[in-house]
Structure 1
């Protein structure tokens, strides 16, 4: 069974060629702020940049001029003399008059950030900033890494058919969750699992700021990276220079609210795709958008009992078909591939959807996986309160099916299993709340009207909490700055990051 959906766009970051953006405002030459008590050794360490060879395979996706390093942080900030972790960094140095470092995070949680150094190529961002990507603790090339399933176990889990929400099916699903959690403890250790959440990562970010030599942080975070940015702004408002949060997560939402908003977001983008597809006579969902959900279910429902044929011996399972479709809904650039995949499925074949699912789940050509999915689960379970009431789980399941009928497998019964986090072996360390950051300088939130994973209203709400400038991007897709290729948006973001020029009020791109 699948345990959750990433609330992050996994599409490639586009490199744009933009003209200069005005006068750069340099970071103050003042000394760095003093480190918190007991943490001097971490804050004052020097970063030893070198080759990216061996950084979790990420070196194959990094530009040739990228440097890499690791920075030490305490596993538990309450015990700085205890075990340590190493945060993996990547850097492309500024090509011109340097303002400072721009810390970058692509979201997830659980996604490697090393390849984000390509963001802003050809712009004043590249000229004026060292662009620095990082793998949050436990993720990617950071050490130690979160590990739960072997590759064989992950493949087997993906192949499982969905369970019925009968008493027996619910018991089976909850037993699977307990088994998964136990595997995480055995392979990762409870101490690290207890300290991989947003609470710790934002403290790591402040260590990185100091180790990089910046008195104040300049930051660009996508999706879950916006949650990191908002939490950092709340804890360290005096340490923020500039902050852009794109594909915003509203930290005041509880997990149930967030999942239902996301379900509605995916349904909205599915409907947009179906309407676009219906303009073509060969659309696999037909030419009537009102019938698209029914036609889609006719294509995917048979996979619950038998996989579709693929050139890969695994075949296309029901879970992988749904995962592949959701991957394609993250960006309009994947819609032609989605049409191809659904057309193949109509003929009983599943190669394209399997390829999309493998991309979403970070399965490599050699059959191994990155630890993205295991890290996603571990971080999510310490970041959010758990749903432990069966009545709440049942209500959430019923409302999710209504919000996203294209994802309704027809197995709803008025009951539902408790999700994975209800069985998690360590407590959650964050709770939903409105962000309060007195003294925070002007920040920027970018929100896309047709974002399936972090719906538009979440960005509106986060901007209000932060007192941030809101840029609305009209389109379908998850995240937009330096991704959608929109000059209006990218120019505004560059002007802000470089010169601290706030976007015009109510900017729509």
Structure 2
């Protein structure tokens, strides 16, 4: 089938310059929100926005500028307390032919869109995407440079939590796990500014309303959006909430909109299990494979390396210990990208020698723990947003059954203990959830492009198939073994198709597969 062109005049028309920002709103404005939609953004140096060493390095890139967007804490009380959302921008390199802004979110939930935009700013250089769009990343409310941020555990408490294996010692493990979950939920409500009110207005429901305010403040009548992983949920929720305000949505690494927490957990286990199998296939052909040369015994070899950590974590030079949780987390982190497989192999090889520094480094990457011992807000945000986005799971039998299925599909993560029926922090969350799984009602939006990777460990391929169907959009398949693909793996087929869609509205032919 020939490629389809979206017949929207706004796709090729130039948007107003973002130099000064609007003093009048762009596009429709919900009643009572005029002052937010017409605000002028004050762009400047990004250094004051960096909260950690990683962000400081990322935000120092050439041509990057930052600002704050003011939004209501509660959209039901727009005249009440306000909060701010951190923004980072790389301007279009061809302003005379500028279309508008490409707003992006990297997922998580809780990931920093500002850091993601800083990293992608080099990837879009010398492309039509970078020439014709301002690249704009935002830290969702409560995350990163946005103020205030969600606060639950101190850095020292995070370190201690990772090292604590009492919930997996086989003795009152359910009671231990639930006690820790209750304490975590209580600390989030106690330590987060504005307390329960902030937690209640933290979810995707409110993030998409912030994003519509941002669209107007950037001077765009319609939104052009790039969402990865959980960012796909932001994308399809925005389309359902503001269908008339959508110009184009590229959603990569999709969440299945109908899956509840347990179904999503089991589907993710299948993804991680499959990608671990791909890692094993790669590893056993190497003379230095830490898991040996036989793929049939590789899972057992892996378990023989990590299970002893349940009883005796490995002491590290910095005074910390590598726990079972950290070793498996480091493994999962490496499965997100094939580029990390050599690091995982080296980490497992050194673990076999009683040294855990490399595996801890992989786990620290996942947890976003900097060399200074400080954590980003991502992991805290992930829990807080997930707990307010979906109904809590409280049925112990269902939890235990899902855990058993999880360990069956991701056998390498089986600790050799019975599956747990412990409820997580969301079961004790102090506020009600604000969303629930459902097929989005997006009638009338322009066709969406969904990118799905065949062996994505975190968001299984079928979820992308399901989302493309639900959105009435087009599916682009990438044959690979990693999490997300557009502008991240250097695949010309994926990047070319995505850029053509975002710039011109041209969809790839039905059934397109990139290798």
TM-score by length of 2: 0.92
Is 1:61 matched with 2:66?
no
The corresponding residue for 1:103 is 103
Q: How many angstroms apart in 2 are the aligned matches of 1:31 and 1:355? A: 46
Q: How many angstroms apart in 2 are the aligned matches of 1:287 and 1:395? A: 34
State the number of aligned residues: 486
Report Cα offsets for 1:442-475 as digits up to 9, x if no partner: 1100000010000000000000000111100000
Q: How many angstroms apart in 2 are the aligned matches of 1:122 and 1:140? A: 29
Unmatched segments (≥5 aa) in structure 2: 1-9, 17-23
Deviation at 1:24, TM superposition (A): 7.3
Report Cα offsets for 1:41-76 as digits up to 9, x if no partner: 110101110111221242421222100000100111
| C-alpha contact (below 8 Å) 2:257/2:438 kept by paired residues | yes
Change in Cα spacing, 1:165 to 1:233, as seen in structure 2 (3 Å) is farther
The corresponding residue for 2:463 is 458
| Off by >3 Å, runs of 4+ in structure 1 | 27-31, 164-167
Is 1:37 matched with 2:31?
yes
Q: How many angstroms apart in 1 are the aligned matches of 2:394 and 2:458? A: 24
Deviation at 1:239, TM superposition (A): 0.5
Q: How many angstroms apart in 1 are the aligned matches of 2:489 and 2:109? A: 21
Q: How many angstroms apart in 1 are the aligned matches of 2:172 and 2:11? A: 63
Q: How many angstroms apart in 2 are the aligned matches of 1:123 and 1:313? A: 46
Is 1:432 matched with 2:437?
yes
Alignment of 1:57-456 (within 5 A): 57=52, 58-62=55-59, 63-96=61-94, 97-117=97-117, 118-119=119-120, 120-161=124-165, 163-164=167-168, 168-188=172-192, 189-412=195-418, 415-456=420-461
The corresponding residue for 2:508 is 503
| C-alpha contact (below 8 Å) 1:27/1:215 kept by paired residues | no
Report the more deviating stretch, 460-469 or 305-314.
Answer: 305-314
Report the more deviating stretch, 177-186 or 304-313.
Answer: 304-313
Q: How many angstroms apart in 1 are the aligned matches of 2:14 and 2:464? A: 28
Question: What secondary structure does 2:167 align onto?
Answer: coil
Report Cα offsets for 1:264-312 as digits up to 9, x if no partner: 1000000110111001132111111111111100000111111224322
| C-alpha contact (below 8 Å) 1:165/1:416 kept by paired residues | no
Q: How many angstroms apart in 1 are the aligned matches of 2:504 and 2:364? A: 41
The corresponding residue for 1:11 is none
| C-alpha contact (below 8 Å) 2:108/2:382 kept by paired residues | yes
| C-alpha contact (below 8 Å) 1:253/1:432 kept by paired residues | yes
Q: CA RMSD in A?
A: 1.6
Deviation at 1:410, TM superposition (A): 1.3
Deviation at 1:99, TM superposition (A): 0.3
Deviation at 1:165, TM superposition (A): 8.1
Q: How many angstroms apart in 2 are the aligned matches of 1:74 and 1:420? A: 27
Report Cα offsets for 1:179-228 as digits up to 9, x if no partner: 01111111101110111100000000000000000000001010010000
Question: What secondary structure does 1:450 align onto?
Answer: coil
Q: How many angstroms apart in 1 are the aligned matches of 2:25 and 2:76? A: 26
The corresponding residue for 2:44 is 50
Question: What secondary structure does 1:472 align onto?
Answer: strand
Q: How many angstroms apart in 2 are the aligned matches of 1:443 and 1:162? A: 46
Q: How many angstroms apart in 2 are the aligned matches of 1:443 and 1:25? A: 17
Report Cα offsets for 1:82-127 as digits up to 9, x if no partner: 1111000000111102100000111100111112224223211110
| C-alpha contact (below 8 Å) 2:26/2:217 kept by paired residues | no
TM-score by length of 1: 0.93
The corresponding residue for 1:12 is none
| C-alpha contact (below 8 Å) 1:162/1:304 kept by paired residues | no
Report the more deviating stretch, 239-248 or 53-62.
Answer: 53-62
Q: How many angstroms apart in 2 are the aligned matches of 1:101 and 1:432? A: 29
Q: How many angstroms apart in 2 are the aligned matches of 1:77 and 1:375? A: 20
Q: Identify the match of residue 12 of structure 2 among 20, 25, 30.
A: 25
Is 1:471 matched with 2:476?
yes
Question: What secondary structure does 1:108 align onto?
Answer: coil
